[in-house]
Amino acid sequence: MSRIDTAFRQARAENRAAFVPYLTAGFPTRDAFLQHARTVLAHADLLEVGLPYSDPLGDGPTIQRSSEVALEGGVTTAGVFDMIRTLRSETEKPIVVMTYYNPMYCYGEGGEAGFLRDLAAAGGDGVILPDLPPDEAGTVIDTAREIGLDTVFLTAPTSTPERVALVTDACRGFVYAVSVTGVTGAREATSSEVPSLVGRIQEATDLPIAVGFGVSNAATAAPVAAVADGVVVGSALIRTIAEGGDLDALAREIAGACRRENA
Amino acid sequence: MFPQPDARGRYGMYGGRYVPETLIPALDELTDAYREARADPAFEARLTEILRDAVGRPSNLTLAENLSRDLGGMRVWLKREDLNHTGAHKINNTVGQVLLAKRMGKTRIIAETGAGQHGVATATAAAMFGLPCVVYMGEEDVRRQALNVFRMKLLGAEVVPVTSGTRTLKDATNEAIRDWVTNVRSTFYVIGSVVGPHPYPMMVRDFQAVIGMETMDQLEERIGRRVPDAVVACVGGGSNAIGIFAPFAYLPEGQRPRLIGVEAAGHGLESGAHAASISSGKRGVLHGALMYLLSSDDGQITPAHSVSAGLDYPGVGPEHSFYADEGIAEYVAVDDASALRAFRHLAEVEGIIPALETSHAFAYLETLAGELGADADVVVNLSGRGDKDVNEAMRVLGDLAGLDAARSESVS
């Protein structure tokens, strides 16, 4: 059983949705990122680490800007693995890398296989690649299975039942349900599509389902936590860091909203 | 029409669909709608009518006698896409895609643009069909191409300046994709080159292939054979080049002419400031397809540079990437200075001001003349007119002294 399986199982046993924060590695600096990661890990079940990419076409302005800052600060793929290694020495909570396919494809001598091996060696538990649908991910899936990394693919509101089946079959650890047609970013209200979306995915798989895109606080997290196994929050955390806000308070608030008795 | 990519949109290893899941059903819908449309005689008839009556096709094939003489007698034929409505080949594709959008019941058109030629061509097609149009354009390009921004607005389009990344074409494309992901149910994304996820590279090629097919017919009439010795075109994303190459590319080896794609070497391939994805790039994934591109060792896309905004793109279409590997076409690179000299030269000897993009193709002719000798027929795709580039040329060449310096260099 992977760390990810264990984390979702434990959250379920405690009648809550898992809290899955996303932070951009190296934003605003390496050390500040590590400090922020420790802050959110205190409340989180699983950490999503964004490996910055120059052309993040699935991301809204907040995460785009954080990626630009990280890259301007000189973050490299090897540097991100090193940050994961540091965090791994401090926590047993699962760490999943979210990035785009090109940094993986172009990685060192080994390309995608080398990327996955080095991620696993650094203590990472899985990958999420928003621009790599399972149709194109054959070799990534094979390599990840071989070395014991989980592969998390995304379903969308536009996914047909056939697509949902294809995507969930390719997933290990959990399924990432995108709550809206759109890019990442904090939103005022939770999409009304979420319950039906989660229902459609549940028909296809027994894997935990984490919902992301648009969750920004307790008010938007609670309705998601009521129907899904996990709540992913990224842009709202990044914005709080960028604005010098209270990250610990926001993470605590959202983690609280993930407890169903409080929903 | 031409060999199709495989079911996953692959030309050899290139192409595919590296996009968010949200778009996959839309790409399936588009692929089906496109195949149905191409099989419908009514669609074909309407497209042919628009290309004739609104675009001005067929475009002329002009023998450039003075240029041919200067090159030692090799006959240079110009495929005059510069004479199309809106001044470039881009309109061949946009009228096709917008006609398809209308047929699919889409109610909103979006596009990306670099120099603004594709934006203008899309805004024109949207105006013809009465559809609202939003064009994404890097803030840097908005500043450099104020005239085209105003043209798009005149045509009723909304121009959205993009402030992320390098603020140029690549970032405008990211932003257009983000819009499409958000409004996918109502919106048709008109991509301007043979890039993007399947079926775009195939669809754009098919719409542009009218260039090559007309060329074959016109050559038969003029020189009694359908296949010349060489075909030359500039390559950024590669749509004008694919348009003239495709009908020749899949002829059996031995019957195929030399197909030469000219990339932008910018300040020189060694300088790092160029846009030569095939000549000097590596394989990777950009904007939904596997292709040759410019990227760092870490897979971060690196900014392209060319004096010509239309070639200033850090990737190249998957079918070109395939042609390059298979030796179906050759790809070379020409720097800014050489392109500017060719720009000047064509204007002087033929009375045609070519686009700076197209000038790269002309700059390669001297080398080609040396290889082919006098008894050869070469077709250059004159992909666009240079009116849009006059300000930039003035800025770069400065004044007549600059022009004279460029001229004496070209003589030496």
Say if residue A103 is preceded by a cis peptide, omega within 30 of 0: no
Q: Which domain holds residue A38?
A: 3-262
As a whole number of angstroms, the distance between CA A201 and CA A198 comes to 5
Give me the mean pLDDT over the A21-32 stretch.
Answer: 98
Q: Shortest Cα distance from A262 to chain B (angstroms)?
A: 32
Nearest-Cα distance to chain B for A163, in Å, is 8
Q: B219-272: per-residue pLDDT in tens?
A: 999 999 999 999 999 999 999 999 999 999 999 989 999 999 999 999 999 999
pLDDT, position B396: 83
> Which one of B16, B25, B181 has the shortest CB-CB distance to A136?
B16
**Mean per-residue pLDDT of chain A:** 96
Return the number of CB contacts < 8 Å for A and B: 126
- Does the beta-carbon distance from A55 to B170 stay under 8 Å? yes
C-alpha span between A237 and A234 (Å, rounded): 5
Nearest to A57 among B178, B184, B300 (CB): B178
Q: From CA B297, how far away is CA A206, in angstroms rounded?
A: 39
Residues of B labelled catalytic: 90, 112, 383
Interface pTM, i.e. ipTM: 0.96
Contacts for B48-51 with beta carbons within 8 Å, 24 or more apart? Answer: B50/B95, B50/B99, B50/B128, B51/B92, B51/B95, B51/B210
- The first and second tokens of residue A171, run together, are 């997933």
At B342-354, the pLDDT tens digits run: 999 999 999 999 9
Which of the following is catalytic: A5, A31, A45, A48?
A48
H/E stretch holding B324 reads helix B318-326
Q: Whole-angstrom Cα distance, residue A4 to residue A97?
A: 13
Q: First and final CA of chain A: distance in angstroms? A: 29
Look at A108 and B297 and tell me if their CB atoms are within 8 Å. yes
Give residue B290's identity as a one-letter amino acid code: L
Q: Does A62 touch chain B (CB under 8 A)?
A: no
What gap in Å lies between CA B199 and CA B23, rounded to an integer? 12
Contact call for A158 and B26, based on CB within 8 A:
yes
Q: Are strands B258-266 and B158-162 parallel, antiparallel or unpaired?
A: unpaired
B16 vs A contacts (CB less than 8 Å): 136
Instruction: Return the residue of A nearest to B168 by Cα.
Output: A55
Under DSSP, the state recorded for A152 is E
- B287 interaction partners in chain A (CB closer than 8 Å): 55, 57
pLDDT, position B84: 98
Q: Which secondary structure element, helix H or strand E, spans residue B378, and what is its range?
A: strand B377-382
CB contact under 8 A, A154 and B164: no
Q: Chain A within 8 Å of B160 (Cβ-Cβ)?
A: no
A 123-142 residues inside an 8 A Cβ radius of B: 130-133, 135-136
A48 among known catalytic residues = yes
User: Which tokens hold the place of B262?
Assistant: 């000219």
Q: What are the chain A neighbours of B297 within 8 Å (beta carbons)? A: 106, 108
Chain A environment of B183 (Cβ under 8 Å): 181
Whether A156 sits inside 8 A of B16 (CB atoms) is no
Check if A74 contacts B (Cβ < 8 Å).
no
The domain that holds A99 is classified in CATH as 3.20.20.70
Those residues of chain B that have pLDDT short of 70 are 1, 399-412
Coil vs helix vs strand at B188: strand
**Cis? peptide before B228, omega within 30° of 0:** no
CB-CB under 8 Å, A77 with B20? no
- Report the SS3 class of residue B189: strand
* Mutate which: B19, B22, B177, B286, vs A, most A CBs within 10 A: B22
Interface test with B, best of A51, A53, A57 (most B CBs within 10 A): A57
What is the arithmetic mean of pLDDT over A188-194?
84
Per-residue model confidence (pLDDT) at position A157: 94
- Of A131, A164, A184, A201, which to mutate for an interface test with B (greatest number of B Cβ within 10 Å)? A131
A57/B20 Cβ within 8 A: yes
Q: Does B165 touch chain A (CB under 8 A)?
A: yes
- On whether any CB of chain A is under 8 Å from the CB of B10, the answer is no
* Cβ <8 Å between A68 and B283: no
Does residue A109 sit at the B interface (CB-CB below 8 Å)?
no
In angstroms, rounded to a whole number, what is the distance separating the alpha carbons of residues B406 and B231?
A: 26
- B251 part of contact set with chain A, CB < 8 Å: no
- Is residue A200 scored above 70 in pLDDT? yes
- B181: chain A residues, CB-CB within 8 Å: 57-58, 181-183
Count of domains observed in chain A = 1
Confirm or reject contact between B232 and chain A (CB < 8 A): no
